[in-house]
């Protein structure tokens, strides 16, 4: 079997979004499944809109997701002599021709064709004029006037286009820059691409590209067109319809494995399985199991997956991932061992690292205020005596083991006749500033004796100042 070679070819005219990244993911998985080669190619011939910062962002996004490439990145802007060589081949064999039609005149002729009930396409005026290269000449591909162009799509099945519906495609603009449909074919030929996996919005481009392959005497790759992803309210997910740059997901506290798992399930399935390790995705991935119907973007499902991966991440690694989000809040985050302990009390409660960083705030700084409703109910003159007693007993303890802490509160409930909540909630508020938090004994153990006693004193000062 010929070695599988796939490619991802983004344009650096904007950030990498979910749709484009899913294309990269499917190509990467297919190459990895077959032990093949994954190529990164930057299609930067749009000189006015292409920016180096987007090239950097594309690479950073892919590496964050773990979509490493084996060859490249190649830049179309550096391959212009190659395209010119292939343009000349088509011109020499009569498969392409020069055209000097004025764009404004072309528009008039297309509107006239529409008025006659005809398809508004190039009318072939320069097809047989035998023009030579000039300052205002483009190069057009001579599309067959009859017959059909067809292929068996790995994602969509058999597809047929009537050649009469196609026109003589411009393959080189008047400025000498090749157009997309031509450059991509030359790139795929010269890079040995065996499988072209991309969104179904490229289906209309495929017959044009197949005809160029055939004119150049090159073997066709396998084509597989993926379904689009729909926005929640309908319509294709796009920058205008809810699509976010990939690095925004990173900055919002999503884990890369959650996003990868989510993206692959938007357009592929393996039975009813929902959660996959990367190794499983590589093992199971096949073009035959791509979805036939579009997936709908569902942020709640992505959050569910992210919470799963947060829970599954080893605590030392979770602490390392959490640290930048704490630093963003100007919280001290140098002790990864301490952060791992704190993360162990929050990893089942938080859906994103942003949420976890905010929830971890009390571990890294004393409460600046107390939850108002809780303070009115629990930080009262009646609770002060109990807090004083709890403080005294905690100070006398040699260690804050769960068993010892549990015994302390059991003894107090028996002695005072109060319920556990009446004793515990004032302590919880003193230590965290909130009435809802991870387990109180875990918090006491992680904060340590000195910090716990300090915060109990601050809460008592708060109570006494109210009196």
Q: Are 171 and 212 in contact (CB under 8 A)?
A: yes
pTM for this model (two decimals)? 0.92
Q: Are 364 and 325 in contact (CB under 8 A)?
A: no
Residue-wise pLDDT tens digits, 305-341: 999 999 999 999 999 999 999 999 999 999 999 999 9
- Report H helices in 35-178: 52-65, 80-92, 103-115
Q: What percent of the chain has pLDDT over 70?
A: 99
Q: Which CATH architecture has domain 1-74+227-312?
A: 3-Layer(aba) Sandwich (3.40)
Please state whether beta strands 5-8 and 37-42 pair in parallel, antiparallel, or not at all (unpaired): parallel
Residue-wise pLDDT tens digits, 407-429: 999 999 999 999 999 999 999 99
Among the listed residues 111, 239, 392, 466, the single catalytic one is: 239
Residue-range domain boundaries for the chain: 1-74+227-312, 313-364, 372-466
Q: Token pair of 81, please?
A: 């002599």
Q: Are 259 and 61 in contact (CB under 8 A)?
A: no
Helix, strand or coil for residue 319?
helix
Residue-wise pLDDT tens digits, 204-254: 999 999 999 999 999 999 999 999 998 887 788 876 677 799 999 999 999
Q: Which CATH architecture has domain 372-466?
A: Orthogonal Bundle (1.10)
Has residue 368 got a pLDDT over 80?
yes
pLDDT at 1: 63
For the question of residue 239 being annotated catalytic, the response is yes
The CATH class, in words, for 313-364 is mainly alpha
């Amino acid at each position: 079997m010929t070695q599988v070679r796939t490619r991802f070819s983004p344009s650096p005219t904007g950030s990498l979004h979910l749709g484009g990244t899913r294309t990269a993911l499917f190509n990467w998985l297919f190459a990895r499944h077959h032990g093949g080669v994954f190529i990164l190619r930057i299609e930067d011939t749009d000189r006015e809109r292409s920016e180096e910062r987007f090239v950097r962002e594309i690479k950073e996004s892919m590496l964050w997701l773990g979509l490493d490439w084996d060859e490249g990145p190649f830049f179309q802007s550096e391959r212009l002599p190659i395209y010119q060589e292939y343009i000349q081949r088509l011109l020499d064999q009569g498969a392409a021709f020069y055209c000097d039609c004025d764009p404004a005149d072309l528009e008039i002729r297309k509107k006239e064709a529409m008025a006659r009930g005809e398809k508004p396409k190039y009318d072939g005026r320069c097809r047989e004029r035998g023009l030579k290269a000039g300052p205002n000449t483009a190069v057009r591909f001579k599309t067959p006037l009859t017959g059909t162009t067809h292929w068996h799509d790995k994602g969509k099945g058999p597809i047929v286009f009537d050649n009469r519906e196609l026109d003589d495609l411009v393959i080189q603009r008047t400025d000498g820059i090749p157009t997309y449909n031509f450059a991509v074919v030359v790139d795929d030929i010269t890079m040995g691409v065996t499988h072209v996996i991309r969104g179904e919005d490229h289906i209309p481009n495929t017959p044009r590209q197949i005809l160029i392959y055939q004119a150049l005497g090159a073997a066709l790759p396998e084509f597989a067109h993926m379904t689009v992803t729909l926005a929640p309210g309908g319509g294709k997910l796009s920058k205008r319809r809810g699509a976010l740059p990939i690095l925004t997901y990173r900055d919002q506290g999503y884990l890369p494995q959650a996003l990868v798992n989510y993206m692959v399930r938007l357009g592929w399935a393996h039975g009813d399985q929902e959660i996959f390790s990367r190794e499983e995705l590589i093992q199971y991935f096949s073009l035959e199991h791509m979805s036939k119907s579009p997936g709908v973007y569902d942020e709640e499902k992505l959050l569910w997956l992210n919470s799963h991966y947060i829970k599954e991440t080893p605590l030392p690694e979770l602490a390392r991932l959490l640290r930048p989000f704490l630093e963003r809040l100007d919280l001290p985050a140098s002790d990864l061992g301490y952060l791992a302990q704190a993360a162990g009390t929050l990893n089942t409660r938080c859906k994103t690292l942003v949420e976890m960083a905010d929830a971890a705030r009390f571990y890294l700084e004393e409460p600046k205020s107390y939850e108002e409703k809780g303070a009115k109910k629990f930080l009262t003159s009646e609770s002060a005596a109990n807090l004083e007693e709890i403080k005294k007993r905690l100070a006398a303890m040699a260690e804050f083991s769960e068993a010892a802490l549990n015994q302390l509160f059991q003894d107090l409930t028996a002695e005072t006749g109060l319920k556990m909540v009446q004793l515990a909630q004032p302590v919880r508020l003193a230590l965290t500033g909130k009435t809802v938090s991870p387990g109180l004994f875990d918090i006491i153990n992680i904060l340590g004796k000195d910090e716990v006693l300090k915060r109990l004193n601050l809460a008592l000062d708060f109570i006494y100042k109210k009196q």
